[in-house]
């Protein structure tokens, strides 16, 4: 499993003009699932995400986690996090888990965040919300070190 964690002033997911998920100033988390991902990956990603110290303390240092500040999270399934851009011009998604397998893992991710977050803050858009029309995408491109 992979996640991109973005602090946002606000975030919203729309499908066909209808808002299916929204959050104010906290975290937008894109979650991608790969072949072979399971419970251990899920637990690690939940723990890392809610405890990641990316909010400022009184001294202006990133020392507070989402749990520390009582913030919220918008969770969005994003298979493109598994896009492989190393060869050619078109990304390969061979390592991405099919939607039928990924959806339950993303749902469990959001549920675990809620459970470990005293029931506050996580909002998960409905199944395949981003899979309609022109979905958002996030790809990582790494420079090759020779």
Query: What does the pLDDT read at residue 133?
Result: 35
SS3 at position 115 = helix
> Is residue 29 included in any domain, yes or no?
yes
142 phi, psi to nearest 5 deg: -110, 140
Residue 112 maps to which CATH number?
3.50.80.10
> Is residue 136 included in any domain, yes or no?
no
Q: 81, 87 in Cβ contact below 8 A?
A: no
> Is residue 43 included in any domain, yes or no?
yes
> Is residue 138 included in any domain, yes or no?
no
> Is residue 82 included in any domain, yes or no?
yes
Cα Dmax for the chain: 48
Q: 55, 124 in Cβ contact below 8 A?
A: no
> Is residue 137 included in any domain, yes or no?
no
Catalytically active residues, by annotation: 78-80
Which has the closest alpha carbon to 109: 36, 15, 32?
32
Range of the domain at 103: 2-131
**99-143 confidence digits (pLDDT tens):** 899 999 999 998 888 776 554 444 454 443 333 333 456 656 666
How many domains are there within the chain? Answer: 1
Rounded to the nearest integer, the mean pLDDT of the chain is 81
pTM for the full predicted model: 0.81
> Is residue 110 included in any domain, yes or no?
yes
């Amino acid at each position: 499993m992979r996640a991109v964690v973005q602090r946002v002033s606000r975030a919203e997911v729309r499908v066909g003009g209808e808002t299916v998920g929204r959050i104010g100033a906290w975290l937008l988390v894109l979650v991608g699932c790969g072949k072979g991902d399971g419970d251990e990956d899920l637990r690690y990603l939940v723990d890392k995400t809610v405890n990641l110290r990316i909010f400022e303390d009184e001294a202006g240092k990133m020392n507070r986690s989402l749990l520390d500040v009582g913030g919220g999270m918008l969770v969005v399934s994003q298979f493109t996090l598994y896009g492989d851009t190393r060869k050619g011009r078109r990304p390969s998604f061979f390592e991405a888990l099919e939607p039928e397998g990924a959806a339950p893992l993303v749902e469990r991710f959001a549920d675990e965040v809620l459970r470990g977050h005293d029931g506050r803050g996580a909002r998960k858009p409905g199944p395949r919300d981003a899979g309609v029309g022109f979905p958002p995408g996030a790809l990582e491109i790494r420079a090759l070190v020779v």
